[in-house]
Amino acid sequence: MEARAQRIIDKELKKAGWSEQRLAKERKGHPLKVKIASRLRQETTMSLKWIADRLKMGTWTYLSLLLHNSRGKEK
């Protein structure tokens, strides 16, 4: 499952024209990071902690808040 998650991340970063360095430099709550995290939650079984660490989004609790807030905007 981790390999699938990595493929999703790689695909989204390439589509956005981002490098790993830019991923690390952008703010924790950047909309692209939230979009990728949301996709990972829907399509993989990776934990919030793993996703937050991998996407450099701070704590898993902050990521949970971001995902919750983003769901409200989609409605």
Residue numbers in the chain where pLDDT is lower than 70: 74-75
Q: How confident is the model at residue 12, as a pLDDT?
A: 98
CA torsion 21-53-10-42 (nearest 10°) is -150
- The reported pTM is 0.94
Q: How far apart are the first and last CA of the chain?
A: 29
Q: How confident is the model at residue 72, as a pLDDT?
A: 76
Q: How confident is the model at residue 45, as a pLDDT?
A: 97
